[in-house]
Structure 1
Amino acid sequence: MRVLICGGTGFLGKHIVNALSQSGHDPVVRSRHSSPALDFSRCTAPEQWLEHLQNIDAVINAVGALRDKPGQDLQTLHMKAPAALFEACAQAGVRRVVQVSALGVDKSETRYATTKRAADDYLLALGELDQLNPVVVRPSIIFGGGGSSSKLFLLLAGLPLLPLPSVMRSAHIQPVAVRDLAEVLAKMAVSTTPSGVIEIGGPEPVSIERFIASLRSQMEYGPARVRLLPNWLSKASASMGDRLPWMPWCSEAAALLENDNITNPQTLADLLGRAPVDIRDMLATLPKGGRLHA
């Protein structure tokens, strides 16, 4: 099958492309860095998508951003452009559409969550009308080489003295290896099932503090000395991150952590047909040379 991957040159997208290729399918990549290039922020009408859907059997939308940036408005990136894509798929007869969303967007009112949720709902509504066969995949934190959150976790894991916002001790996540998630998404694209909303998390819910400690242990370092930041300093650190476009820790991320980011771990294992990568083996999934050293 020929599968269009929107965002196919990104962190997750590259792994989806590889998973499709390894299973004998033909991935077609579209992003600002592909050839031909496609700028999601400019494709807000169905007719702008039709040429990219010629001879396409299924679509995976893996485009996303944590917050607004110059030339990267979340309302356009997460809702307007995907809605136009979904409408174009219905017009072109491309029924299978896989939307990569995020776990917890149904519980948060952040700009990230509301724009992602709006696109999810739009796609599912087209499915209710039998115009598409959609599946919305909502993963927990994704870990792997090249991921911005992963880089931050690895950097923190290398610190012998670890200053942490208190939410990183109280909030729980369910890290999923990017290769596991990509394999699932590739399987979904070339299948007619499942449909609806699928929540995906790794095999174990952990606090961010404990996940960082696990990464540090895998680096063969002793336990770090943890210092929890007071609330005012936690907020100040998130506000500072707001001013740094490359920083994954920001006010939006802090707000998303107000709710636990966890789900049934068996779903991922069932979809893979095997045991997923354990958090204690996450470092082994990185490309050679991808580890950080303190």
Structure 2
Amino acid sequence: MQVLLTGATGFIGRAIAAALRRAGHTVHMGHSPNSPRQQHAGGVAMDFARDTDAATWLPHLQGIDAVVNAVGVLRNTAARPIDAVHHHTPVALFEACRQAGVRHVVQISALGVQTGSTRYARTKRAADEHLLGLAAATNDSTSPLRGVVLRPSVVFGHGGASATLFMRLARLPVLALPGPVLTARVQPVAVHDLADAVVALLGSHSQVRGVVPCVGPEALPMAALIANLRAQCGHPPAHALQLPTPLTRLSARLGDWVPVSPWCSETLTMLATDNVADPAPLQALLGYPATHYSQLVERAWAPSPTAAAPDALHPGAPS
């Protein structure tokens, strides 16, 4: 297939691009015009902050068989307004896909957005629902738009900010975290498993529709995950301390004033919420069990030649 991949220079986008190429697809790399990684052959500059009109996307869709949207941000900034990046521009892209007759659209969303109240969750959910509505309305024998929304838990891999944060915490002999963050359960998924799921949706499982949760085989509290990562690195157990609630809230509010900081009130809300689901749908796509959390360091953390600096912390999808 000819595949347009938006967010191609991000942490998840790079993994998806590599997996698609291994499967024999031609990948058209869509990236931000301000991306420091524009040197990819065939790269196309696309401005998710401003391209909110379907007509803007139609020229990019000529000859395209499938579109994968892997764009995501955590913080709302002037350069990357979250309402445009997560909602208005993806909606325009999906509408253009319908008009251009693109058969397959895969949206990388995040687990928890279906019920989340944060701005991140609301904007992601709005785009998800629009794609699913389009797919339901055009699902006929002449020109079906097959829409799939992938909702991963914390995505783990080298270059991901969530994984980088957890690995840094795993090196500390004393760990101090907010109580809700220590006890909230997560079900991390290796980035290469998420990428392989996208490949399956464009190949052997192209008949799949709707929402697919993407999680590892087993859930555990976040404190236990960090402790397990520490053990995988050969370190002795650390001492875990609970930060007082007032200090936690204060630190998150201070983070709200620092646009480049991954720690903010929205991050606290998302990390303090269970992020778990049934692992069976992902296993069905892959044809084998996804990477267990006890193997993440060995199988997902080893740096690759294309590994780059971490992207913005993204509990769920682009992390």
Instruction: Out of 254-263 and 108-117, give the one that drifted further.
Output: 254-263
Q: Note the C-alpha offset of 1:120.
A: 0.6
Equivalent residue runs for 1:111-260 within 5 Å: 111-130=119-138, 132-190=145-203, 191-260=205-274
CA–CA separation in structure 1 for the residues paired with 2:303 and 2:183: 33
TM-score relative to the length of structure 1: 0.95
Unaligned runs of 5+ in 1: none
Distance across 2 between alignment mates of 1:186 and 1:44: 27
- Equivalent position of 2:85 in the other structure: 77
Conserved 8 A contact 1:202-1:265: yes
Identity between Structure 1 and Structure 2 (%): 44
CA distance in 1 between counterparts of 2:257 and 2:199 reads 35
Do structure 1's residue 95 and structure 2's residue 99 form an aligned pair? Answer: no
Q: Secondary structure at the match of 2:45?
A: coil
1:121–1:288: structure 2 CA closer, same or farther, 3 Å change rule?
closer
Which structure's relative contact order is higher, taking Cα pairs within 8 Å and 6+ residues apart? Answer: 2
CA distances 1:157-190 after superposition (whole Å, capped 9, x unpaired): 1111111110122211100000100110122134
AA matched with 1:148? A
1:204–1:247 CA distance, 2 compared to 1 (3 A): farther
- Structure 1, 162-171 or 79-88: larger mean CA deviation: 162-171
Return the alpha-carbon distance in structure 2 between the equivalents of residues 4 and 155 of structure 1. 34
Contact 2:255 2:263 in 1 (8 A): yes
Deviates more, 1:182-191 or 1:218-227: 182-191
The CA distance in 2 between the partners of 1:122 and 1:230, in whole Å, is: 41
Matched residue, 2:279: 265
C-alpha displacement at 1:258, in angstroms? 4.2
Give deviations 1:88-133, integer Å, cap 9, x for gaps: 0011000210011110101111000000000011111111211521
| 2:118 paired with 1:106 | no
Structure 1 CA distance, aligned partners of 2:261 and 2:176? 16
Residues 39-94 of structure 1 deviation map (CA, whole Å, 9 limit, x = unaligned) = 11121101100111111100000000112023111110001100000010011000
What RMSD over aligned residues (CA atoms) do the two structures have, in Å? 1.5
Question: Counterpart amino acid of 2:289?
Answer: A
Q: Please name the residue that 2:18 is paired with.
A: 18
* SS of residue paired to 1:162: strand
Is the Cα–Cα contact under 8 Å of residues 91 and 130 in structure 2 kept in the other structure? yes
Partner of residue 301, structure 2: 286
How far is 1:192 from its partner? Answer: 2.7
Q: Tell me if the contact between 2:212 and 2:282 (Cα under 8 Å) persists in the aligned partners.
A: no
Over 3 Å counting, the alpha-carbon distance change for 1:106 and 1:127 in structure 2 is same
Distance 2:200 2:3 in 1: 11
Cα pair 1:102 1:139 within 8 Å, conserved: yes
Is residue 149–residue 248 contact of structure 1 (8 Å, CA) maintained in 2?
no
Does the aligned pair in 1 maintain the 2:156–2:301 contact within 8 Å?
no
| Number of residue equivalences | 290
2:82 corresponds to which letter in structure 1?
A: L
The alignment's TM-score, normalised by the length of structure 2, stands at 0.87
